Structure 1
Amino acid sequence: MVDNTSTDHYDFLAHVFQSCFIAVISIAGSIGNALVLVAMCTSSKLRNCTNAFIGNLAIADFFNCLVLPMNIVAIVSVDLWPLHDGVCMMSSLVLITCTVSSFYSLASVAYVRYIIVTKPSAKIPTLVNNNIAAIFVTCNWIVSLTTAFLPIISGIVQLGYDSKYHICLWDTTGHGHVIYSGIFAMIIIPIPLGSMAYFYIAIYLFIKKEAKKITPTMQASTLQLQSCSQNSVPASIVNLRKRNIDVTKNLFIVVLAFVICAIPHSLAIIIPNTTDIIPYTAIVFNCTSCINPLIYARKLPEYRRVISRMCSLSNPDAVHDISQ
């Protein structure tokens, strides 16, 4: 005989834990991504193609965190969604759109770093510029919105409250769930993930190849160049390349954190009989929305400098001087 009292008590504690964790992600992510966006608006040094995609990622994470409280309402509701159905459906649309946008934003960052690190300086302006960034961002949101509105247009699955997992996403009890999940798993997600893998592996191989070119003869030539009156030119080129590689490594940490958080949830969806852990893997996946600003502030010097000035209480005039 099953002890219903113990089961109900367990469910209550599980729902409280899930709700508290989601609340922390929502608050921390909203504040963190808002700081990133304000930093980009107030500092001219952060306005470049790479940061355009980071900004796009911050926008997606920000709105994702804003609608997460709707899932708290869904979790604490025992049987039915207590608000208007349209509220849950809108939350679902935002979550799906922002999730897809995050994947493609990270893929765009990988492309930009690949071009900057591996291509000659003369070719970079033609491969990475404001027009290309605008095209990438536009395509990003077109794909994201199309994916989100596909269930409404096609009717393959019902967006809104899912009674199985008590969340606002889509109904997982019907046959359409398998089709829509398959579109995600086989088409929407593999494209940006494959692109990220290709670009970062190519960057790694390029850096490894360049490192092998440093022979004793080249080192001697470098020493001779440094003793010449024009030593500032090669030194500046070396410093720029080193900085680009360092920035690329730090941005790779963002991608790695995203993939690590996404893998458990992806496996839980694919592997049978993992229903009980899916709510927890979904929470881990949403952690990326609040982790990214912390990585920027810790690993990217320009963001760290700007955000520290914005948060400084000892220098209230710092924000007005933030772009200098």
Structure 2
Amino acid sequence: MNAMTKPPLTIRLCGPRGFCAGVDRAIQIVVLALKAYGAPVYVRHEIVHNRYVVEGLEAKGAVFVEELDEIPAEHRGQPVVFSAHGVPKSVPEDAVARNLFYLDATCPLVSKVHKQAMRHQRLGRHVVLIGHAGHPEVIGTMGQLPEGSVSLIETVEDVDRYEPVDPDNLGYVTQTTLSVDDTAGVIARLQERFPNLTAPSADSICYATTNRQEAVKQAAPGCDLFLIVGAPNSSNSKRLVEVALRAGARQSLLVQRAAEIDWDNLGPIATVGLSAGASAPEVIVNEIIEAFRERFDARVELADTVEENEHFLVNRELRGIELTAADMAFVNGEGASRV
């Protein structure tokens, strides 16, 4: 099929998209640890929710485990990295008890939520955490607090069923990767039922989640298809699919790679929206654009909203270590050689 016979297509490419500062920092910590201490470097849980990134780090010498007891005794001198989602307090305590050297890659914005929750609890408030049950970030946040001092709320219906012991002494925080609109509804209902509810000192939903949702919301009207690059266990990516549909896209799909796109069943499409969750590398976005160009006379239209300039420092132990250009390309999601 030559360019003259390919059907025309407009791709609305959202910006900002893809890696946020917390994800960039977490990946950089693993790469720097491999440079500083050599392989293997152990990582508890997926460093970020993206198989391409995880497999790339594995190729460099990272070993992913779910629990610290999976680290062989002969490798206990090697570092273990905690994922960007954060961990319960019991995990670093366990690492110390096992004489493990650990590097905490928890996103600073997740750490901020931990501190807000602990402040509520320290001031005698029962903590209401708005989030998704079972998500690593929620497990980590709940694990900062004594058992029984936090209640998890997911929906407005949960709020209606919630009967706290002291309804006049509550403080809330939220998971950082929630739907902005959904969360606003849950908070409004909490405030309606519990007028003395105390808000956190700053918004818990992170800037990257908010920015990506706003860009998708603006680009979605009129789209025949909206593709979100992300993993099925990525909360912020799944929220982008929902945002696209609510904002007017005819259909919206979550894909990890171009190979997952079911080309035969997309139906007639003239305008496609494209964005990526905060843990999805840019190399996959480019891969998908090229897959469309093979089948369509595709024109990319930038749909930018705000520019992101956030940068988070890595752990003190890793500062000053030089990375090659190929390493930096991988850290930035640009798809350089993984070895």
More helix by share: 1
Larger strand proportion, structure 1 or 2?
2
* TM-score, normalised with respect to structure 2: 0.24
Q: Which has the higher contact order (CA 8 A, sep 6+)?
A: 2
**Alignment TM-score, normalising by the size of structure 1:** 0.25
The structure with more radius of gyration? 1
